[in-house]
Amino acid sequence: MRAVTVDYTHRDLRERDICLPTLEREGDVLFRVLETGICGTDRELARFQFGYGPQGSDFLVLGHEALGEVVQSSTDAFHPGDLVVPIVRRACQPPCSMCSLGRRDLCITGRYTERGILGAHGYFTDFAVDDARDLVRVDRSLRERAVLIEPLSVVEKAVALALSLHQGEPKQALVLGAGTIGLLAGAVLQLRGLAVDLVSAEPATSLRARIAEGVGFRYLSEPERNKADIVIEAAGAPAAADAAIEALAPLGVLIILGAKETAGKVPLLDLIVGNRIVAGSVNASPAAFGHATEDLPLLPEQLIRNLIERTGFESYRQTISGPAPVAPKVVHVIA
């Protein structure tokens, strides 16, 4: 069967023929991959900035955002025809205390694997097998948007963390970045009753700005200082991290999702005297996947329609290594 891979010997992106997976253990479920979404992580993987293949393999099958349809199941938990979304991360072995508790997203050893990213093949291929415990069931009615469940789960974890850390009554949210994560974060914060400002580098006439305004966010070119109760940084740039910290109101909580460093100094005194909190977050808990499936049907149709652009299997070079696509989320239709 076909698979899109990063090849560590030839240092390129290439399609190769790999073996069809089969049910091996009690609990295994075989599914046909219907769609796989591309994100910044895939683009980093293709530039060899991040990630590695399974032990003994000189390539990695890409694809960690997937929607599948069950073909064969060794457990009553799933039946042929069921729609499923795989959870990306697998526990470290032997499992650490957090992995044992089912919170592999909080793994403390760093020896976890992630399908399509770190040490385990992904889903940019025709079929895959996973343990039933690594699959989330999706209602048929969500077929058109279900490929967003994985990125939405990352957002759900971050938003829940932010709200749980806030010590007052958060009303104003700020999101930095108008990619999929930023736009979904704004939408979830709106569902939680907050007013949403979204700041991004694209001009106010860009598609992304229009998507943001279309769903009721205020689109700004730079954040207001000291105003935001909840800030989600999803821009990935050092300057965004600085702006995010400066935007925090007293008691404000900032969750960093993308930026790897700040550009300037972190104003610790402002954090202290304002009881402000800055935290990082990665991946998603099983509960966050649950919240994603609950919130997905509530997201505005207009947002979903403008967010996703679908393309075929073959255009992977363009979508992963080409210039950044206009639509925030490119999805490859595989079956």
- Give the nearest distance from C-beta 257 to Zn ion in angstroms: 11
8 A C-beta contact, residue 12 and residue 48:
no
Q: Which of 30, 34, 38, 41 binds Zn ion (CB under 5 A)?
A: 41
Q: Which of 3, 6, 60, 88 binds ligand BGC (CB under 6 A)?
A: 88
Q: Phi/psi at 208 (nearest 5 deg)?
A: -65, -40
Choice between 119 and 274, CB closer to Zn ion: 119
Choice between 114 and 156, CB closer to ligand BGC: 114
Q: Which of 4, 30, 39, 245 binds Zn ion (CB under 5 A)?
A: 39
Q: Which residues contact 95 (CB under 8 A, 6 or more apart)?
A: none
> In angstroms, rounded to a whole number, what is the distance separating the alpha carbons of residues 31 and 34?
9
Lookup: tokens for 100: 């044992």
Q: Which of 73, 200, 283, 319 binds ligand BGC (CB under 6 A)?
A: 283
Nearest to 217 by CA among 197, 192, 202: 197
Q: Is 113 in the site for ligand BGC (CB under 6 A)?
A: no
Q: Between 146 and 185, how does the x/- string for binding to ligand BGC read (CB under 6 A)?
A: ----x---x-------------------------------
Q: Is 190 in the site for ligand BGC (CB under 6 A)?
A: no
Q: Is 117 in the site for ligand BGC (CB under 6 A)?
A: yes
- Give the nearest distance from C-beta 292 to ligand BGC in angstroms: 12
Q: Is 18 in the site for ligand BGC (CB under 6 A)?
A: no
Subset of 21-40 contacting ligand BGC (CB under 6 A):
39
8 A C-beta contact, residue 309 and residue 327:
yes
Q: Three-state SS for 307? A: helix
Lookup: tokens for 261: 């460093």
8 A C-beta contact, residue 37 and residue 147:
yes
Residue 228 Rama label (left phi>0; alpha psi -120 to 50; beta): beta
> In angstroms, rounded to a whole number, what is the distance separating the alpha carbons of residues 291 and 103?
15
Contact residues for ligand BGC, defined by CB under 6 A = 39, 41, 64, 88-89, 114, 117, 150, 154, 282-283
Contact residues for Zn ion, defined by CB under 5 A = 39, 41
